[in-house]
């Protein structure tokens, strides 16, 4: 079950929700949340945010899309949440990631 949930997150990270997955697999939302945490070791929202951050990082370092566009494309609606989580995960700001990537290709 855990591998299927992770695959669902990887393929539909922009719009997926725990409620949708619970409905899809006929589980109670809270039960699925507890099962996910027990099997994966992280909460659903933490794994989803991580997936979104990885996709954002890929777009930041491989495209010239504006940061706001990238944030929307990965399914994050709160800009300050994105910046805070990105910095915590990568230990650099989105701008620094983009600058480091462009320095490599220059």
Distance CA 46, CA 37 (A): 10
Question: Would you list the domain boundaries of the chain?
Answer: 2-105
The arithmetic mean of pLDDT across residues 28-43, rounded, is: 97
Quote the pTM value.
0.92
pLDDT in tens, 55-69: 999 999 999 999 999
Q: Is the pLDDT of residue 101 over 90?
A: no
The arithmetic mean of pLDDT across residues 30-38, rounded, is: 97
Distance CA 52, CA 10 (A): 9
Domain 2-105 has CATH 3.40.50.1100: no
């Amino acid at each position: 079950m855990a591998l299927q949930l992770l695959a669902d997150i990887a393929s539909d990270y922009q719009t997926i929700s725990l409620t949708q997955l619970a409905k899809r697999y006929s589980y109670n939302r809270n039960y699925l949340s507890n099962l996910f945490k027990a099997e994966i070791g992280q909460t659903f929202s933490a794994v989803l945010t991580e997936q979104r951050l990885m996709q954002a990082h890929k777009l930041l370092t491989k495209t010239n899309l504006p940061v706001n566009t990238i944030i929307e494309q990965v399914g994050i609606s709160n800009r300050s949440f994105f910046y805070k989580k990105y910095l915590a995960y990568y230990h650099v700001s989105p701008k620094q990631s983009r600058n480091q990537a462009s320095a490599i290709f220059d």
